[in-house]
Amino acid sequence: MENLETIKQNFADNLSKLRKQSGMTQLELAEKLQYSDKAISKWERGESVPDVGVLKTISDTFGVSIDYLIESEHTARVEESAETKRTKIRNRAIITAISVAVVWLVALTVYVTASMVTDGALHLWLAFIYAIPVSAIVWLVFNSVWFNRRRNFLIVSLLIWAILLSLFLSVMGASSKAWELFLLGIPGQIIIIFWSRIKIRAKRK
């Protein structure tokens, strides 16, 4: 039976290898586990091992068993797990791209159809402008479910300015002060910046 020091070292090696093969930083893994990056660093140096509850969360995150995390002989299984992870990430990225492309296909369909029916009515090009915030919403949803949630702050910023641009282009002919709509984006952007600085309370082991 392996002693505690051996288990700590096995876990340290396996955690570091799985994290790197999954393309995650210590900070990103810490955010998923709601622990501090210092705790992750401590585990990867073999100074301690988390409790069983955290081990279960880590095993679920990387798609391996708890026994797998503390074993030393499973090189082939690690490579298989990493390849599966990369395939899953690639597939999710493709699905996200297809979903955004569908938004633009709908916008193009609306433009072409309306152009044929109305015989060249003005402002039909706004269909493509409106597709920008809709695309941002689709991206935001998929990113929240599958990818790094810290990127949501960038996507929300894009969404705010895209909505303001859409509104500006829609009313600029009716009002000379339409540009003032962009002033709304300034406090909105400030809120996002401060929001992004808020950190989830980290548990420390």
4-35 pLDDT, tens digit per residue, is 788 888 889 889 888 888 888 888 888 888 88
Q: What is the model's pTM?
A: 0.56
- Tell me what pLDDT residue 138 has: 95
Taking the C-alpha atoms of residue 57 and residue 59, their distance in angstroms, rounded to an integer, is: 5
The CB density around residue 54, as the number of other CB atoms within 10 Å, is 17
Q: What is the mean pLDDT of residues 62-79?
A: 73
How would residue 144 be classed by pLDDT, with cut points 50, 70 and 90?
Answer: confident
Is a pLDDT exceeding 70 seen at residue 121? no
Sequence-ordered alpha helix ranges (H) in 34-151 = 37-44, 52-62, 66-70, 75-118, 126-146
The CB density around residue 140, as the number of other CB atoms within 10 Å, is 17
Is a pLDDT exceeding 60 seen at residue 205? no
Q: Which residues contact 146 (CB under 8 A, 6 or more apart)?
A: 92, 96
Q: Which residues of 85-104 are buried (b: 16+ CB within 10 A; e: fewer)?
A: beeeeeeeeeebeeebeebe
How would residue 139 be classed by pLDDT, with cut points 50, 70 and 90?
Answer: very high
Q: Which residues of 189-204 are buried (b: 16+ CB within 10 A; e: fewer)?
A: eeebeeeeeeeeeeee
Taking the C-alpha atoms of residue 150 and residue 187, their distance in angstroms, rounded to an integer, is: 20
Average pLDDT, the chain: 83
Choose from 16-25, 78-87, 133-142, 187-196 the range with maximum mean pLDDT. Answer: 133-142
Distance of CA 41 to the CA centre of its chain: 23
How would residue 119 be classed by pLDDT, with cut points 50, 70 and 90?
Answer: low
